[in-house]
Structure formats: C-alpha cells, structure tokens
Structure 1
Amino acid sequence: MNKTELIDAMAADAGITKAAAKKALESFLGNVEKSLKKGNRVSLVGFGSWSVSRRSAREGRNPSTGKTIHIKAKNVVKFKAGSDLSSAVN
C-alpha cells in the first residue's frame, strides 16, 4: 500500500473526503517527525512505537572493491510493533 492508497482507504473508512484524509495523514506524519527530531519517543498503544537511537561511527567495506571505508555516526529511527499489531499479522 502506498500513500495514495492509504489516503483512499482512510477516506472510505472514515466517511470523509480524500482531501481531509490527506491533511490528517500529513499532520500525523509531520507531528511524528517533529517529535522524533526533538529526541522524543512516539507511542501508540497496541500499534507500536517510534524512537531515535544513535548509531556510532564505524569501519565498513565497499562491497565492489573490498576497500575499507569510514561510515559516519548518525541518528536512526526505530519502530517496535505493539502487541495488537504483532498479533494481527501472525
């Protein structure tokens, strides 16, 4: 499912226009992004939680040449599925 299909499904399920569904989805995604940028965790009970963790700098290998390269430290977003979501897909 891509973003357009998700907007269509949200509009149909909620009985709202596609424009309203798009606005709601973009608001949700924007607020999750803002919260994660601040270093906060976003948690939806039963669905899952997003958090930011720091990946330290490390040495890696270029797979085509085998040469050692330096990989910079960076922040990564992690998602952990909640119990209801895990149960639904199993």
Structure 2
Amino acid sequence: MIRSELVAAVAEANPHLTVRDVERIVTTIFDAITAALASGRRVELRGFGAFSTRARDARTGRNPRTGETVAVDAKRVPYFKPGKELRERLNVGED
C-alpha cells in the first residue's frame, strides 16, 4: 500500500471527512513521527508497534558499480518493532 492508497482507504472508511482532510491528517501524523524520531524520541502506538532509531557505526563500504571502497559515515536509521496485537493479527490461523 502506498500513501495515496492509505489516504483513499481512510477517506472511504470515514465518509464525513474529505480526501483533502485525510491527506492533511496523514501528513500531520507522519510529520509528527518523523520529528520525534529526528529528536531522538521513541514513538509507541500500543497494539501496533514502536518506532525508534538505531545507531549504525561508520564502516568501509564498496561502490557496487566500480568496486571502489568508500567510507560510510556513522548514522542513525529508523527501526520499527511490531506490537503484540499486530503480530497476532498477522499470524491468525498459522498454527
């Protein structure tokens, strides 16, 4: 599902909201999650999961096109840990 499909699904489930309103809501939610992660905070949505960041150390990488070694700086990357309810819903009937 891409962003526009998410907006369409939410708008369809909430006919009292316009598509434009839903787009603003989705954008606001994504912006809030992004801002929290950028400031080093964790975002937990109970039952769904938690967004956080993880540190990646600097390393030596390789340019796949030329084979040349490249220095890759240390960085933070987003990480998502699914919640218990999400995991259970994904695995219904798989016993």
Give yes or no for TM over 0.5.
yes
Deviation at 1:75, TM superposition (A): 1.0
Gaps of 5+ in 2: none
| Corresponding pairs, count | 90
Aligned pairs (5 A) from 1:1-90? 1-15=1-15, 16-90=17-91
Gaps of 5+ in 1: none
Choose 73-82 or 56-65, whichever is displaced more.
56-65
Q: TM-score, normalised by structure 1?
A: 0.89
Deviation at 1:41, TM superposition (A): 0.2
Q: TM-score, normalised by structure 2?
A: 0.85
CA distance in 1, matches of 2:78, 2:90: 22
CA distance in 2, matches of 1:6, 1:85: 17
Moved over 4 A (4+): none
CA distance in 2, matches of 1:22, 1:64: 39
- CA deviation vs aligned residue, 1:52-90 (integer Å, no higher than 9, x gap): 121110122334444432211111010111111111112
CA distance in 1, matches of 2:78, 2:25: 22
CA distance in 2, matches of 1:13, 1:70: 48
% identical equivalent positions: 37
